[in-house]
Structure 1
Amino acid sequence: MKVFHSIVGIAALTLTSPLPAKQRSEAPPPTQVMIVGTMHFANPGLDYRNLAVDDVLAPKRQREITAIVRALSRFSPTAVGVEWREDAASTAYAKYKEGALPASRDETVQLGFALAKSAKLDAVHGLDIPASLPFEPAVAFAQSHGKQPIIDRITTVSDQNVAAQERALRTEGIAATLQLLNDPVSADGTHGLYRELLKLGSGDEQPGLEVTATWYRRNLGICAKLLQATKPGDRMVVFIGAGHLTLLQQCVRETPGYSLVDARAYIPR
């Protein structure tokens, strides 16, 4: 059995076998993907540090959300993806369209379902592949090997991010918070904390690697579902926790035939 160590050979073969001119001129239109990194509206408390969000069902917040959905609709989406499992998203969106879904504070419903219904889409794509990060062994390793400053730095940066988001939400509103969350510098800074975790390990004991690898695998799984749910010419909007932003944008950006759209150009200011 052959074991492939890379796909470079495949790429080289492709490059040495050019398509006829007619086929090259008939390239399909790109699939455009806008990834909207969000905070969790319903306060599920599932992240390492969590933003406290006031009641998004209150009239003031509903007006803000309506304005955001209206602005995003200018993208004319042909598909919407959300951070739910496929079966849950499909069932709930069907009820939502019928007006039979109970009131929900979840950003999937408030933003994803609302945009999909506004665009008259028949379905919403559930893209999530949930996974629990094995963070505790990494923390234990840090504590027992003089690496606690790494955990302290992750905590400090996370707390600072949450404080900035809470300040934006309190003083400027949901749209301003989304603008902050979708800033690439901020997103990359948060993503870089997973690289810090790679320092937690020695020899065959690699708890930091396990956390990071689990996170990467989850995001690759989400991107796989995104690619499988789209076709050439689609215009997809994905609503997902902002921590996923860097890896999902990278996956879309590096996939042939896909074009990444900056959500900040559509989120109201």
Structure 2
Amino acid sequence: MKKAFLLLFGLCSVVQSIAQSKPTDLLLVGTFHFHNPGGDVAKVKTFDVMTPKVQAELENITNNLAAFRPDKIFVEWDYSDQRGLDELYTQYLGGKYEEYIQATYPTPGKRDFYLKNEIVQLAFRAGKKAKLTRIHAFDYNKISLPFDSVMQAIAVAKQEPLLKSLNDARASIETSQNKKIETYTLTQLLLDANTKENLTFNKGIYLDKFNRAGTASNFSGPRMVSEWYRRNLYMYSLLQKMVEPQDDKVMVLVGSGHAAIIQDFVTYDSTFKLTELKNVLKK
């Protein structure tokens, strides 16, 4: 009897060890920001997600995201304001979200953000369909991106070729993205944002261009790049801490610039296995 108990205990320990060592499937969804107030360096047109056609498409997209069956969904919302995100999601689950936003944020700019942004249109919608009671905030914003200092350092160092390269890259982004916004469906835009080429381009802007800024004694360029990486590293740390061993699948919704770096982090983390968006939306 004692031997049988010890054998059973040993088998349970092995099974538990195997269960805990199984990597969590991580669906990484990089996106453009649905609510576009024009604050980015590259100025691109706004894609209207509120039209009936796009809303119908969002239903199909989020049906597929929910079918992935995530145990948790993480979004680009300040981690220190989980309570604020909880309040919004509670209103959404209760079917009174738009009414709540209209009453709380009468200013058009604020109201549009809370109605149109991808957290609501993608994460809340998919979360409700997946019967999740919470959407998790994991953004970290306590950084400084000295863009003006970097541009000044480029001017002082007389790095005309680098400046031209940056301007050409910005113009290329604007031209390419504006054309896509005019011709692509939302599904096509999301799939395009998550291609290897676009994710590599996103990282390249920082490492291939901004990191070179300034004279040999000026490190404003790498300082800005390191701050950007720090933000993403802190976000990833929060993700690692909030995903539990029993979580079989999780979804992460972030801007494509974040996705480019987070994808790299995942490749070195044995607790996660990356699931590509194209394999989820192809259904």
TM-score, length-scaled by structure 1: 0.85
Selected match of 1:94 from 79, 90, 105: 90
Equivalents in 2 of 1:38, 1:45: separation in Å?
A: 16
Letter of the 1:254 partner, please give it. Answer: Y
Letter of the 1:242 partner, please give it. Answer: S
1:113 and 2:124 matched: yes
Equivalents in 2 of 1:149, 1:98: separation in Å?
A: 55
**Structure 1 pair 62/204, CA: closer, same or farther in 2 (3 Å)?**
same
Equivalents in 2 of 1:155, 1:70: separation in Å?
A: 40
Q: Is the 8 A contact 1:82 1:238 kept in 2?
A: yes
Selected match of 2:149 from 129, 137, 159: 137
**Structure 1 pair 100/72, CA: closer, same or farther in 2 (3 Å)?**
same
Selected match of 1:185 from 175, 193, 197: 197
Aligned runs of 1:1-269 on 2, under 5 Å?
A: 23=14, 26-27=17-18, 28=20, 29-86=22-79, 87=81, 88-102=84-98, 104-130=115-141, 131-195=143-207, 196-232=209-245, 233-268=247-282
Higher normalized helix content (fraction of residues)? 2
List runs of 5+ in structure 2 lacking aligned partners. Answer: 1-9, 102-114
Q: Is the 8 A contact 1:31 1:258 kept in 2?
A: yes
Q: Deviations over 1:213-250 (max 9, x none)?
A: 11000000111111112122431111111111121011
Q: Which moves more between the two structures, 98-107 or 132-141?
A: 98-107
Q: Is the 8 A contact 1:35 1:249 kept in 2?
A: yes
Letter of the 1:110 partner, please give it. Answer: Q
Q: Which moves more between the two structures, 153-162 or 22-31?
A: 22-31
How far the C-alpha of 1:205 sits from its partner, in A, is 2.3
How far the C-alpha of 1:204 sits from its partner, in A, is 4.2
Q: Deviations over 1:112-162 (max 9, x none)?
A: 111111100010011111244211101001112111332332232233234
Equivalents in 2 of 1:67, 1:53: separation in Å?
A: 21
How far the C-alpha of 1:177 sits from its partner, in A, is 0.7
Q: How many residues align?
A: 250
Equivalents in 2 of 1:48, 1:81: separation in Å?
A: 26
Max radius of gyration: which structure? 2
Superposed CA RMSD in Å reads: 2.2
TM-score, length-scaled by structure 2: 0.81
Equivalents in 1 of 2:43, 2:234: separation in Å?
A: 24
- Aligned partner of residue 77 in structure 2, secondary structure: coil
How far the C-alpha of 1:24 sits from its partner, in A, is 9.3
Equivalents in 1 of 2:133, 2:122: separation in Å?
A: 16
Q: Deviations over 1:53-77 (max 9, x none)?
A: 2321111111121111112222111
Equivalents in 1 of 2:212, 2:29: separation in Å?
A: 30
Identify the residue that residue 105 of structure 2 maps to in structure 1: none
**Structure 1 pair 170/33, CA: closer, same or farther in 2 (3 Å)?**
same
How far the C-alpha of 1:164 sits from its partner, in A, is 2.3
Identity of aligned residues (%): 27
- Aligned partner of residue 84 in structure 1, secondary structure: strand
Q: Is the 8 A contact 2:157 2:215 kept in 1?
A: no
Q: Is the 8 A contact 2:64 2:281 kept in 1?
A: yes
Q: Is the 8 A contact 1:165 1:177 kept in 2?
A: no
Letter of the 1:26 partner, please give it. Answer: S
Equivalents in 1 of 2:87, 2:14: separation in Å?
A: 41
**Structure 1 pair 68/213, CA: closer, same or farther in 2 (3 Å)?**
same
Equivalents in 1 of 2:232, 2:257: separation in Å?
A: 10
Identify the residue that residue 5 of structure 1 maps to in structure 2: none
Equivalents in 1 of 2:273, 2:156: separation in Å?
A: 45
